[in-house]
Amino acid sequence: DKTMIDALEPAVQALEDAAADAVTVAEAMRAARRAAENGMHHTIALEAQKGRASYLGPRSVGHQDPGATSAYYLIETAAEAFGDNA
């Protein structure tokens, strides 16, 4: 849908997978950061379906979603706070 969920959902999935694998918090946050970053970049190829960007229709393709970018920065900051400096 080209929203912040595109970054948050893979990050949450990465955290759930990390919890199942019993890795350290820093490793879990590193995985969440990478997943959120991939999700954020994935929005570039999507057409916006929600929010104000949806008014642009096909013209939204080729632009990174600002909500996904903001969500990525939240995950990145949390990862840094929990010891992931990669």
Q: List the chain pLDDT tens, one digit each, 86 residues.
A: 899 999 999 999 999 999 999 999 999 999 999 999 999 999 999 999 998 889 999 999 999 999 999 999 999 999 999 886 65
Asked if residues 31 and 14 have their Cβ atoms less than 8 Å apart, the reply is yes
The answer to whether residue 14 is domain-embedded is yes
Task: Tell me the residue range of the domain where 17 lies.
Answer: 5-81
Asked if residues 36 and 72 have their Cβ atoms less than 8 Å apart, the reply is yes
By C-alpha distance, which of 4, 76, 79 is closest to 46? 4
Asked if residues 6 and 40 have their Cβ atoms less than 8 Å apart, the reply is yes
Q: How many domains does the chain have?
A: 1
The answer to whether residue 86 is domain-embedded is no
Tell me how crowded residue 55 is: count the other CB atoms within 10 A of its CB. 9
The answer to whether residue 27 is domain-embedded is yes
The answer to whether residue 39 is domain-embedded is yes
DSSP state of 63: S
Under the phi-then-psi rule, with left for phi > 0, alpha for psi from -120 to 50, and beta for the rest, what region is 4?
A: alpha
User: The domain that contains 60 carries what CATH number?
Assistant: 1.25.40.340
pTM over 0.85: yes
By C-alpha distance, which of 17, 8, 6 is closest to 51? 6
